[in-house]
Every structure is written in C-alpha cells, then in structure tokens.
Amino acid sequence: MSSDSVPLGRRLRRYLGLESCGDRPVERKLQDLKRRKTIRRLWLVVGVVVLSILMWVSLRMSEFSLGQLIEYYPQFVEALYGYFPPTSYFGIPFIDLSAYWAFIVGENLFGAAVVTVSIAFAGTVIGLPGALLLGVLASERVIPYPFNFLFRSIMAMIRAIPAIVWALIFIPLGGVSPFTGTLAIAVDTVGYLGRLFTDELEEIEDGPIEGIRSTGANKSQVVSFGMLSQVFRQYLAWIAFDFEHNVRVAITLGVIGAGGLGLILEIQRQTFNYTNMMACIIVIVFVAGSVELLSQRLRSYLREDDDVEQIGLLEAFRTAPRKIVESTTNRR
C-alpha cells in the first residue's frame, strides 16, 4: 500500500507516534521516540500558553502601557539634558561636571554619605548578636528537629517583611529619622544574617565535633570549640557581605526620610532637579562601589582558596573599567 492511499488521519497519528507501526523492536522503538517527541511539543505549547497568560495578566496588573511610553518619551529626552547638562571644554561638547561638583560640595553630600554608612554599620552591629543567637539555635546540629524549626520560623518571618516596611513600623517609636532606619536594618540583619549563619553551620565537618565530645566537653563547649570555631572565618565574610547589603538598604530607607543620601535624592526628585539628582546618584555609586570593593577584599582575604581578588585596592580601582568592559563582552 502506497503512503498516498493511507488516510490523512492515520498518517498523522503514525507521525505523532500515536498508532502502532508494527511488532518489531525497531518499529516499537521508533514509535516510542515519536510519542516522546509529541509529548515534549505538547508541554512546550502548554508552557508558552501559560507564560503568555501570566505575562498578559502581569502587564494588566502593572498598568504597563506602550502608549504611555510613546507619549512621555519626549519628556524623558528633555530630562536627559537635566541629568547630563551639556557644556563644552575647549570647544568640545561635554557633560558639565562642574554642575555636579557644585551641588556635591554645596549640599555636603559626602557628609550625607557618612550618615548613610553609619546607619548601615550601626544597624549591622546591633543586629549581629540576634543573628548569631538565632542562627546557631536554628541549626539542626545544635537544636534537634523539630524544635529548631521555631527559630527558623522567627527568621523567616523577619525576612518576609522588607526593611523599608520595618522602618514604617518603627515610625511611632523613633519618627522618620536615621534612628528608625538603624532599627529597621538591625531587625533585617537578624533575619538575613541569621539564615546565612545557619546554612554555614549545617555544612561543617563532624570530625572536630566528635573530637571535642571525646574530651567530655558539655554542649556549650561543643558548640563553641567544635562548631563555631570551624565557621569563624566564614561568619566574618558573611558579616562583611551583609554590611555591604545594608549600605544599599540604608540608601533606600533614606528615600522615605531616614536621612543620608537617599533623603537628599528624594528632595531633589520632588523638585524635578535632575542635575542635582544625578549628582546624588554619582555619590551613591561611589559610596556603594567603595563599600562593595572593600567587602570583596575582606572576603577574599578570609577565604584562602579565593585567588580571584588577590590584588591591591588601588590596583582594583585601576582595573575596574577594564573588568566592566570585559564583563560586557563576556570575556570574564
């Protein structure tokens, strides 16, 4: 029987692997491959349909509109001249950097940066004891399951509430001020840093613990000398990482009035002074980048096997532009 004489429906079922082609092993294998291929295609179609529906719902809920982008695009282009005020040096068009510097000096943005970093540092230090306590008690190696679940739940509840919401909760206690921001970061540190401490403690080796137990040490001595001694350097590295994270959080909290660079940025936004806003952003990038660089250097020092960042601080600043270019071209 030629293939042209076979009904279309039967040929389609055979192509999709839904019809038996014969009893030989080769034919059954071919049928199985076709069926698997058909199932994968069906799942792909279902996935595309579900993703399309979710995307459509998300666009509707977020009120995303291409028409609005087109309508306000000229205003955005006009604002770019405010963000990057044009001037000329020796007849060459350039960005007016003096406008940025005048605002940075006039408003003492470096002093505001010190306030931002101080909020992050104080919040990290205040939250550190709570993070250490809950992080250790939440470990199954210290408190058996399911009792350790209570401490894990406390940290999970803290992490479920963003730092900016914690700041709003503490407003009746300290008003809209750096004090409120410091409290919010302290609570946030307990949740996030405590979880990192717990995860690190779960990965330690049993050998040192058994060695301490064999000496007749009690529970607290086993935890101190058998467990925490193994993760001391890792804990310091995580503290540096959390401080780096908290600096960014402190900038965000400043936008709602917690002081520092974020507060000045918000004031300039309310007056639509885009040049001054860009001056704030430049200082924010400088401060956040410097803290991140110092944090990376400290973590590289603490982790002996990390040879990626074994370069000097000045060398790191000097090579930063090259690294950015290499990253954008996928060379690193």
Q: What is the pLDDT of residue 110?
A: 92
Instruction: For residue 190, name the pLDDT band (cuts at 50, 70, 90).
Output: very high
φ, ψ for residue 84, nearest 5 deg: -125, 80
Which residues pair with residue 94 across a beta bridge?
87
**Separation of alpha carbons 234 and 241, rounded Å:** 10
In a 10 Å sphere around its CB, with 0-12 CB exposed, 13-18 middle and 19+ buried, how is residue 328 labelled? Answer: exposed
Whether 27 has a pLDDT exceeding 50, the answer reads yes
The full set of domains in the chain, from first to last, is 13-62 (no CATH), 107-315 (1.10.3720.10)
The size of the chain, in residues, is 332
Dihedral over alpha carbons 278, 280, 286, 292 (to 10 degrees): -110
Instruction: Compute φ and ψ for 321, nearest 5 degrees.
Output: -60, -40
Residue 113 · residue 259 · CB < 8 Å: no
pTM score > 0.85 for this model? no
Query: Which amino acid is located at 120 in the chain?
Result: A
E strand residue ranges, the chain: 86-89, 92-95
Residue 328 pLDDT class (50, 70, 90 cuts): very low
Q: Provide the residue type at 25 as one letter.
A: P
Residue carrying the six token digits 């990290």: 124
Predicted confidence (pLDDT) per residue in 94-131, tens digit:
888 899 999 999 989 999 999 999 999 999 999 999 99
3-state helix, strand, coil in the chain (%, to 5): 75, 0, 20
Closest by Cα among 104, 113, 108 to 247: 113
